[in-house]
Amino acid sequence: MKISTKGRYALRMLLDLAEHEDEGYVSLKDVAERQGISKNYLEQIITLLKNTDMLKTTRGSQGGYKLAKLPEQYTVGDILRITEGNLAPVACLVDDVNMCQRNLFCMTLDVWRGLGKVIENYLDGITLQDILDKYHNRDVGDQYYI
């Protein structure tokens, strides 16, 4: 029951881009150095995000990545759904293909459904901007909305 490094690194990467928004396009090399993560590995992860509308990129010298939208328009849920594939805590919640035969009389299915909802509600309620604000001690309290 763990968020993979893919998801954790993706979040840190986008936060890094958000913090350096004013610098225009930011190279992965810079992000990798600041975050202490292998650049090659970050490339694989950012490829997942690039295939959505989350990022703008330019190649070549002075190229790099930047957020396509405002930090408050990215929820942690959005980001993790892309890197993790989905946020379901058990496979049978993902789709009909993964739904097991027992679903009609499964005692535990509703437990997992509820768990999935709780997780999604929480992660969809936090944006990059929320994280930045809290980190810089602006107007947000001690906890994210739980």
Partner DNA sequence: TAGAATCCTTATCGGGATGATAGGATAATA
Partner DNA sequence: TATTATCCTATCATCCCGATAAGGATTCTA
Q: Which residues make up the interface to DNA (CB under 7 A)?
A: 2, 4-6, 9, 26-29, 37-41, 43-44, 46-47, 50, 57-65
Q: Which stretch binds a second copy (CB under 8 A): 21-29, 43-51, 56-64, 131-139?
A: 131-139
* Beta carbon nearer to a second copy, 56 or 117: 117
Of the CA atoms within 13 Å of residue 107, those in its CB half-sphere come to: 0
Q: Which of 131, 137, 138, 139 binds a second copy (CB under 8 A)?
A: 131
CA dihedral 97, 98, 104, 106 (to 10 degrees): 180
Q: Which of 99, 55, 79, 67 is nearest to 3 (CA)?
A: 79
Q: How many helices (H) and strands (E) does the chain have?
A: 6, 2
Strand partners, 127: 75
Contact footprint for a second copy (CB under 8 A): 1-4, 7-8, 11-12, 15, 36, 76, 80, 84, 87-91, 102, 107-108, 110-112, 114-115, 117-119, 121-123, 126, 131-132, 134-135, 143-144, 146
